[in-house]
Amino acid sequence: MNILDINRPHFLKVVALKFIIRSQIIFLCTILLLPIDTPALISEGRPGNPYFDQVLFLQKKIIENDKVVAVSLAFTDPRNNEDLCLNRMDVFDGLEKFRDIHEKQWVLVDFTLESLIIAEGFAGDADVTWVKACPDVDTCIEWGKQRALNPEEQERRANFPRPKALVKSNLEDITQRLELGRKLVKVARCRGCHNIEGSGPNYAPSLTWKRIKYDSGWVESYLMSPYRMRPAMDNLMMLNYTSPNAMPSLQQEEVKVVAEYLERVAIASAPSSDWRRELWDDYDCFDCHVKLYKSEPLVYQPTVLPENTKDMLEASSTLSLCLGCHTFGDMRTAEQIPAGTAHPFAPDLLLAFEKLNLNFISKFLEDPTHLVPLTKMPNLGLNDDQVLEIKGIAKKIKEEIEEGQIKPNHMYYNLEKKNLK
């Protein structure tokens, strides 16, 4: 199959057509896509981009134990069966701001966009910084206009922190590259082991997640030369798809597209229904590759940590909670973990902190299944201070790696060509 032979997405065309039919709802869709202050369509590679005075519909709010735990905002009122904008957004930070606002109401919202997926509309999640309930949609729009004219408000917006790297791009490019990534993942049969976009088995760690998960560039470099991260995982390896043994063997440019796709598909609900049709049940990778790996496992060698780093880690009572399940370089090795408590998917925390985005780490600890629906990590019920403490440790570890004090030991997976009978 020629991977460059991709169909142009119909998304823009369809949306444009519908725009003509339904002008009011369309207006609501376009204001998010075209923020007043930038001509770019979509925030690519820049989580944290702020949007102001967005008119949205509070579709769902869940309160548990007197805490607002989930809020979902839509771009259309589902009571009218207006499904032309499938756009929706989940709220991360700022949930409590919705405490006194009832469901099924229009709201005027300021938020920073955190992750986004585009396909037949888009879905993402955002940190809400300000919200006000409106009696109806027209009032919302009017209030938003007035607010934007307020000089103090204009100054506040001008000084609002924005991410440094603004990569402008257009919707069509992103959609095309996503589609190409999807196709490559299908051709490479990653679903022989992984769950991706909510479909696939769970032999290997789930690749279905929300938000930006990894530091930029990590996924691509990992796919180029995968290494062992999970000491308790002794039956299966990640495969090197750039090896000539691989069928298909991926070129670097293709690996880049796959990495980009995995990073962008930062949402649990699978957007493309075509995608559900991949017959991954029939893939036979798992059994054969388990056999293969067991015949020649890659010995796990923990990273050597400097003494002062170990002292810092040992001083943290919060971190000690983690070490019942996770290893941490040679400060906590697999031999020191009580038998039966380490799940095969639990990575060495040193290697996890190396690759993971700091915000992901803290949000994940607050509520693991929210970010990774299939995760095997339990919710530990940490309080805010404990989460911050771990984030601080992760930051310190990243700095020490950057400065060369810690040299993470990457044990690369490699298969010799052989016949398996």
Which spans of this chain sit near ligand HEC (rule: CB under 6 A)?
185, 188-190, 192-194, 204-207, 219, 222-223, 228-230, 233, 236-241, 243, 245-246, 258, 283-285, 288-289, 292, 318, 321-322, 324-326, 343, 345-347, 352, 356, 361, 364-365, 375-378, 380, 390, 414-415, 417-418, 420
Torsion sign, CA atoms 75, 80, 85, 87: positive
Q: Nearest distance from residue 120's CB to ligand HEC, in Å?
A: 23
Q: For residue 352, which of 332, 373, 380, 337 has the smallest C-alpha distance?
A: 332
Q: Nearest distance from residue 417's CB to ligand HEC, in Å?
A: 4
C-alpha count within 13 angstroms, C-beta hemisphere, residue 65: 1
Residue 67, Cβ density class (10 Å: 0-12 exposed, 13-18 middle, ≥19 buried) = exposed
Please, are residues 17 and 26 in contact by the beta-carbon 8 Å criterion?
no
- Tokens representing residue 172 in the block: 């069509």
Please, are residues 119 and 273 in contact by the beta-carbon 8 Å criterion?
no
Q: Nearest distance from residue 285's CB to ligand HEC, in Å?
A: 3
Please, are residues 107 and 57 in contact by the beta-carbon 8 Å criterion?
yes
Q: Nearest distance from residue 326's CB to ligand HEC, in Å?
A: 5
Q: Nearest distance from residue 162's CB to ligand HEC, in Å?
A: 27
Cβ proximity to ligand HEC, 30 vs 249, nearer residue: 249
Cβ proximity to ligand HEC, 152 vs 284, nearer residue: 284
Cβ proximity to ligand HEC, 17 vs 380, nearer residue: 380
Q: Kindly state the greatest CA–CA separation across the chain.
A: 76
Residue 378 CA to residue 364 CA, distance in Å, equals 10
Cβ proximity to ligand HEC, 26 vs 322, nearer residue: 322
Q: Nearest distance from residue 78's CB to ligand HEC, in Å?
A: 33
Cβ proximity to ligand HEC, 294 vs 418, nearer residue: 418
Cβ proximity to ligand HEC, 271 vs 347, nearer residue: 347
**One-letter amino acid identity for 353?**
F
